[in-house]
Amino acid sequence: MGDFVFGKQDFIKPRDTIALLKKSAHCLLNQTMNQRQTTILLTDDDEDDRYFIRQAIERTIHNSAILEAATGEEALDLLGRHMIQLVIMDMNMPGLNGLETLTFIRSKSPLFATPVVMLSTSDQPELITLAYARGINSFIKKPIRFEEYDQIADALKVCFLSFPTAGKQT
């Protein structure tokens, strides 16, 4: 395995991470309380991969709207026009790739707290580390078996979309 080095600018300071997580949770809670429908942006250049994850999300996350983009440019356009609660994005896409799109998302004030999950066939440690350094919330290797898509959708629901709603008793 080759060595890799990152500059100081590639990492978020622990204090910044805590503040970012708190703001992210607060923004998500407010968005979830104010919307009846969860809007998920699914960005992948592979139409089949989008189909499989969309089907799993529709089976698992009820009352969700799924917007699809085949490129990073399309994703940024949709992010500018819709209130998105979760972004699921491929790392390797033509044009603006997932890492470049992620950098743009994290640089924009209204978007920086939106959770971004990188879903990719890549398992290169250097790229995964770079993706976390740039601000992804989670990295998931694309499944090989069909039933694994349902497991991913369930994990997304639990980890990123399960917030209490106003007035609801737990």
Each residue of 42-88: pLDDT tens digit? 999 999 999 999 999 999 998 899 999 999 999 999 999 999 999 99
DSSP single-letter state for residue 114: S
> Which domain covers residue 37, as residue numbers?
10-160
Residue 2 lies in a domain: no
Q: What is the CATH number of the domain that holds 63?
A: 3.40.50.2300
Residue 5 lies in a domain: no
Residue 97 lies in a domain: yes
CA 22, 153, 88, 40 torsion: positive or negative?
negative
Residue 1 lies in a domain: no
Tokens representing 112?
């920086």
Reported as a single tens digit per residue, the pLDDT across 91-136 is 999 999 999 999 999 998 788 889 999 999 988 999 999 999 999 9
Rounded to 10°, the helix 98-107/125-134 angle is 20
Which residue blocks in the chain are alpha helix, DSSP H? 14-34, 47-60, 72-81, 98-107, 125-134, 147-160
Residue 170 lies in a domain: no
Residue 168 lies in a domain: no
- The helix (H) or strand (E) run that includes residue 117 is strand 116-120
Residue 19 lies in a domain: yes
Give the Cα-Cα-Cα angle 150, 152, 153 (nearest 5 degrees).
Answer: 65
Q: How confident is the model at residue 37, as a pLDDT?
A: 85
Domains identified in the chain, total number? 1
